[in-house]
Amino acid sequence: MSERILMRGNEALCEGAITAGCRYYFGYPITPQNEVPAYMAMRMPEVGGVFLQAESEIGSINMVWGASLAGKRAMTSSSSPGISLMQEGISYLAAGELPAVIVNMVRGGPGLGNIAPAQSDYFQAVKGGGHGDYRTIVLAPATVHELTHLMIDAFDLADIYRMPVVVLGDGALGQMTEALTLPKPSNRKIAEKDYILDGCKGRKPRTIKSLRLSPQGALEELNLKLKAKYDEIMEKEPRYETYEIDDAEIVIVSFGMASRIARVSVMRAREKGIKVGLVRPITLWPFPEGLIAELASKDRVRSFIDVEMNLGQMVEDVRLAVNGKKEVFFYGRTAGVLPDEDELLQKIVEVDG
């Protein structure tokens, strides 16, 4: 087992990306993810890569499109307002079927909001954000260790499915220094990229684009192809972690930083004899709806509590998965305020009746 070290989330994720083979980073400063471009500016020249501070997040995401066209592993990072600016580019990446990794260290919103940790970009990340019929894989790490290791998965999944992958953290995860072991390079088999643009030497010219005006139905054909890909991802890729779920009568669903607080409340509720457990989705899309649906149909499970650092966004997906079989409650704090373990414990006690 490799050595345990201490690193800040924003810097550790860069090491994960470099191990994944990312050699192209394009970014623009915004708090609370400034350590990412600073670290990449230092490290990319050391590993023979390219670091470029773009003129804006719009520039960043379109530079990622450019490097990805050439088949290179490329990424950008930002925080909420900057990610809003990238949404058009993410939509293009989805339509052009180009791999890319986008890290969002979410801050309080809407608007300029604040720079405190938040999960209020769940809708934006999971439901599309940009225009058109598309999806992005969304990975939601809860620790610096997991964040670093998920960077490997993010690049692999982006290449395997040829699509943008969002790593959704929050200001705390990026800023926090925690113990971790660095990941090893992945041994996943990634098919050779037979679609890239590098000049048409010895082959027919290729085009990578999203415009599909003709023939009639060309765009629908693309969208249905994307849908088939998304169906495969929903089948194969949902990931989650469970805690104390085997005899749970109340199921808490919570992701990322909020799930760490929820976990403490679960432990304290257990001390009071309340049978409560935790489901932590690691992929927010594909959402682990199968597991939630299965739990909802168990007789012993009485209710669900969704816990988030927002006013209730993932709760909509929990309700869809529960499908009216059990009651779904919500507890959350918004605007960069962390959920309180005492408040959550009180909520569990209330729900327990």
Partner 1 sequence: MKTDTVNTETLKAVYKHPESLKRVKMHYCPGCGHGIIHKLLAQCIDELGIREETIIVAPVGCSVLIYNYYNCDGTESAHGRAQAVSTGLKRALPDRTIICYQGDGDLAAIGTAESLHAANRGENFTVIFVNNAIYGMTGGQMAPTTLIGQRTKTSPYGRDEGNSGMPLRWCELLTEMEGPAYIERTSVHDVKHVMRTKKAIKKGIEYQQKGFGYSFVEILSMCPTNWGMTSLQAAEWVKESMEPYYPLGVLRDRGNGGDK
Binding site for partner 1 (CB under 8 A): 24, 26, 50, 52, 54-56, 58-60, 62-70, 72, 74, 88-89, 92, 96, 197-202, 205-211
Structure tokens at 278: 């935790």
Would residue 6 be called left, alpha or beta, if left means φ above 0 and alpha means ψ between -120 and 50 degrees?
A: beta
Handedness of CA 115, 116, 117, 121 (dihedral sign): negative
**Shortest gap between Cβ of 312 and partner 1 (angstroms)?**
32
| C-alpha–C-alpha distance, residues 276 and 304, integer Å | 9
| C-alpha–C-alpha distance, residues 116 and 107, integer Å | 5
H or E stretch covering 105:
strand 100-106
| C-alpha–C-alpha distance, residues 11 and 180, integer Å | 12
Structure tokens at 236: 């194969």
**Shortest gap between Cβ of 97 and partner 1 (angstroms)?**
12
**Shortest gap between Cβ of 353 and partner 1 (angstroms)?**
53
**Shortest gap between Cβ of 223 and partner 1 (angstroms)?**
17
**Shortest gap between Cβ of 39 and partner 1 (angstroms)?**
19
Q: How many CB atoms lie within 10 A of CB 266?
A: 27
**Shortest gap between Cβ of 129 and partner 1 (angstroms)?**
14
**What is the residue-wise DSSP string for 169-183?**
EEHHHHH-EEEEEPP
Contact 61/102 with Cβ under 8 angstroms? Answer: yes
Whether the bond between 288 and the residue before it is cis, its omega within 30 degrees of 0, is no
Cβ-based nearer residue to partner 1, 12 or 61: 61
Q: How do strand 283-285 and strand 137-139 relate by DSSP bridges?
A: antiparallel
Three-state SS for 77? strand
**Shortest gap between Cβ of 146 and partner 1 (angstroms)?**
29
